[in-house]
Amino acid sequence: MAFKLTINGETREVEVEGDTPLLWVLRDSLGLVGTKFGCGAAQCGACTVHLDGTPVRACMTPVRRVGDKAVVTIEGVGKDPVGARVQEAWKAIDVPQCGYCQAGQIMSATALLTANPKPDDAAIDAAMNGNLCRCATYIRIKAAIRAASGQGV
């Protein structure tokens, strides 16, 4: 089946089964490999992208459910001023260790700061709870979110 998707501000067409997870459409059909496969079961957050600004797990989102919602991935999030600030803070604080989880972390952090520009620690914990990091970079992730929000690290 053909699907027309809006991805990072561009219209892209793909020919896939409707139950194909968005993650595989992004990675395999469109070559947008910044979004990672971790658990495949909505448990780790590595595959997080935005649908109309809301963070979703691309591994559990069938492409037929995307409809005309705007998809933003790690490749496009820097076009958004909040996403750009988050990426700058990530670099300044040197957050990643192996890096595998970090695209998903940045997508969740950007959605958080768009909805809540000055989150307190509890709000950060709640928003980032579903993004696991096997390298345990959690302290630097929180510091980067605070920096990107203009709050003291």
Interaction site with ligand FES (CB under 6 A): 37-40, 42-47, 57, 59, 96-102, 133-135, 137
Q: To the nearest whole angstrom, how small is the minimum distance from the Cβ of residue 90 to ligand FES?
A: 11
Q: In terms of CB distance, is 96 or 119 closer to ligand FES?
A: 96
Burial 22-53 (b: 16+ CB within 10 A, else e): bbbbbbebbebebbbbbeeeeebbbbbbbbee
Distance CA 55, CA 129 (A): 12
Q: To the nearest whole angstrom, how small is the minimum distance from the Cβ of residue 95 to ligand FES?
A: 8
Burial class (CB in 10 A: 0-12, 13-18, 19+), 7: buried
Q: In terms of CB distance, is 102 or 149 closer to ligand FES?
A: 102
Distance CA 119, CA 112 (A): 8
Q: Report the interhelical angle of 121-128 vs 138-148 (nearest 10°).
A: 120
Q: To the nearest whole angstrom, how small is the minimum distance from the Cβ of residue 133 to ligand FES?
A: 3
Q: In terms of CB distance, is 21 or 83 closer to ligand FES?
A: 21
Q: In terms of CB distance, is 39 or 123 closer to ligand FES?
A: 39
Q: To the nearest whole angstrom, how small is the minimum distance from the Cβ of residue 41 to ligand FES?
A: 6
